[in-house]
Amino acid sequence: MNPVVRVRDLVKAYPSGNALDGVSFDLEANTIYGFLGRNGAGKSTTMSIITSQLFATSGTVRVFGEDPYENPRVLGRMCFVRENQKYPESMTAAHALRAASLFYPGWDHDVAEQLVADFRLPLKTKVKKLSRGQLSAVGVIIGLCSRAEITFFDEPYLGLDAVARQIFYDRLIADYAEHPRTILMSSHLIDEIAGLIERVLVIDGGRIIMDETVEEATSALTRATGPTAALDRLARGHRVLERRTMGSAGALVFHGIPSEAASETASHAGVRLESVGLQESIVHRTAAAATATGPELSPSSMEGALS
Amino acid sequence: MIEEGRALFLQIAESIENSIVDGSLAEESRAPSTNELAAFHRVNPATAAKGLTMLADKGLLTKRRGIGMFVTAGAREKLRAERRAVFAARFVEPLMVEAATIGLNAGEVIAMVKDRAAAVGAQS
């Protein structure tokens, strides 16, 4: 495999602490990635550094094998849709789209026109007068229509209603199917994008804690409900992430999948087994990762991460 | 053993199998393409492709170069046989477990099955 993006040991230090603390991962060509993690985990910082809009303190980034810094050969092949994109004061949505169409050689005018209609985006209104959702629509249109080989969407859905988000997801799948490319999308609406993405990258506390396929992520954990005695037998040897009990019955979430024989025994004892969805898996594993590095995280730094 | 929340590509493969079994997707006809499946089920095309590949590996679909995937002749009967083989384990066993829990014996269940079968037969 020949990755289109290679990130190694990326550190971004601020006086208040490290926003990135040794981030390494690869992005393969023609794959849609979900870039997930809590607020302040380092998602936007990582994307900004890859697209050369921010400097790393240390570490390396290679895009198509080259250093992206002031490198038009690779920067023109990437599109970064920022969550808080700023536009010049007097610009209208029409201007913003036109500017993007000039910058990206693969720009699709027809799809852009269709999306403007679908999102009911007012083209003549000044960008600063647009609502949060309309601003996001501008970003989504630019991200999709640029057809850049590598596209970064940073929380592209902010302010978009459920109908508009579905339009975005449907158009993304349709366009990606016709024009495969690499897409890295950060999102907190994990279950909403679970079907769209092939791989998940989860960042927490400035480090990558998960880098796997969606299937691997959703088959990593098991939820078992039933009589507690049978649950305890079943979970023996597995790392338990959550345990809830009510009388003599309970529910467990644990790492791994029990063997066929163990599952059989448990189910005869009245235990029901389920896989755990992507969003919940990530919540459990993020919490587990935080506990593993627990002593380093003081309550005050947690507050910082939440803001 | 895990029944719920199965992988998306399995669900997609199963939806195509269902169409083959109920005859809505006829043998020798063209199966939906990767992109059609991706758009319909709102999933990544790679996931849809994996579902199709699985069916091709099972011999239910046949690839015709440049045109797409087609339902193999005999696929319907093959699937029906496969499902008959697991019918007892998949449907009858949980039925009898529930029957035992609420105190119904096999005879009573059989009577109910006959009763329902007659009702369904009258409807169709």
CB spacing of A273 vs B2 below 8 angstroms = yes
Angle CA A5–A204–A26, to nearest 5: 15
H helices, E strands: number in chain A:
12, 13
- Mean pLDDT per segment of 10 residues, for chain A of length 307 residues? 92 94 97 96 96 95 95 93 88 94 94 96 93 95 97 95 95 96 96 95 96 92 93 92 90 92 89 91 90 50 40
Distance set, CA B27 to CA A109, B66, B72, B74 (Å): 41, 19, 6, 7
Domain boundaries, chain B: 8-73, 87-123
For residue A153, give both structure tokens: 């969407």
| Distance between CA atoms of residues B65 and B23, nearest Å | 24
**Measured between beta carbons, which residues in chain B are less than 8 angstroms from residue A257?**
2
CB spacing of B43 vs A198 below 8 angstroms = no
Distance (Å) from the C-alpha of residue A4 to the closest C-alpha of chain B?
18
CB spacing of A170 vs B45 below 8 angstroms = no
For residue A168, give both structure tokens: 């975005």
* Residues in chain B whose Cβ is within 8 Å of chain A: 1-9, 34-35, 38-39, 41-47
Q: What is the ipTM of this complex?
A: 0.78
Which letter does DSSP use for residue A210 in this model? E
CB spacing of B3 vs A264 below 8 angstroms = no
pTM, two decimal places: 0.85
Comparing CA positions, the residue from A148, A147, A167 lying closest to residue A157 is A167
For residue B103, give both structure tokens: 């105190």
Are A161 and A136 contacting, i.e. CB atoms less than 8 angstroms apart?
no
- Closest B-chain CA to A270: B97
Structure confidence at residue A275 (pLDDT): 87
> pLDDT per residue over B2-60, tens digit each?
444 678 899 999 999 999 999 999 999 999 999 999 999 999 999 999 999 999 999 99
Structure confidence at residue A267 (pLDDT): 87
Comparing CA positions, the residue from A221, A196, A195 lying closest to residue A286 is A221
Residue B114 has pLDDT above 60, yes or no: yes
Question: Which CATH superfamily does the domain covering A5-216 fall into?
Answer: P-loop containing nucleotide triphosphate hydrolases (3.40.50.300)
For residue B75, give both structure tokens: 């696929």
For residue A298, give both structure tokens: 């003081």
Comparing CA positions, the residue from A279, A234, A277 lying closest to residue A252 is A234
- Closest B-chain CA to A193: B43
| Distance between CA atoms of residues A272 and A251, nearest Å | 9
CATH number for the segment(s) B8-73: 1.10.10.10
CB spacing of B35 vs A177 below 8 angstroms = yes
**Measured between beta carbons, which residues in chain A are less than 8 angstroms from residue B4?**
274-275
CB spacing of A275 vs B45 below 8 angstroms = no
Are A157 and A202 contacting, i.e. CB atoms less than 8 angstroms apart?
no
Task: Give backbone dihedrals phi and psi of B6, rounded to 5 degrees, phi first.
Answer: -70, 160
| Distance between CA atoms of residues A196 and B51, nearest Å | 15
CB-based contact (8 Å) between A257 and chain B? yes
Q: What top-level class would CATH report for the domain A218-306? A: alpha beta
Domain boundaries, chain A: 5-216, 218-306
Angle CA A155–A158–A163, to nearest 5: 115
Are A307 and A40 contacting, i.e. CB atoms less than 8 angstroms apart?
yes
